[in-house]
């Protein structure tokens, strides 16, 4: 089966997020003044082959731990949909 996978990589709570802070600081001068808690992460999308969704999730979790994220400072949220 083929699956569409989205891995959202975000900085863990407490880790400085300079991109998010810069966006947040710039917004009021552009006229957007009711926005807060801006965080910038990565959205990694790919297509994978796997026998079923359970094994697809296992592979993606291993991939995140070994390669896509730095688990010391980043969290990964995985969304898998059959395609």
| Residues whose CB is less than 8 angstroms from the CB of residue 20 and which lie 6 or more positions away in sequence, other chains included | 38, 39, 40
66 near its own copies, judged by CB under 8 A: yes
d(CA 21, CA 23): 5
Residue number, 16 or 47, with CB nearest to its own copies: 47
Find the shortest distance in angstroms from Cβ 47 to its own copies.
5
Burial string for 66-76 (b: 16+ CB within 10 Å, else e) reads: eebbeeeebeb
Query: Of 17-56, which residues contact its own copies (CB under 8 A)?
Result: 20, 23-24, 26-27, 30, 32, 34-50
By CB under 8 A, name the binding residues for its own copies.
8-10, 20, 23-24, 26-27, 30, 32, 34-50, 59, 63, 66-68
């Amino acid at each position: 089966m083929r699956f569409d996978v989205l891995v959202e990589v975000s900085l863990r709570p407490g880790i400085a997020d300079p991109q998010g802070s810069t966006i947040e600081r710039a917004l009021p001068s552009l006229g957007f003044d009711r926005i807060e808690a801006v965080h910038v992460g990565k959205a990694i999308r790919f297509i994978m082959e796997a026998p079923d969704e359970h094994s697809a999730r296992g592979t993606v979790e291993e991939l995140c731990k070994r390669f896509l994220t730095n688990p010391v400072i980043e969290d990964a949220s995985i969304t898998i949909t059959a395609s």
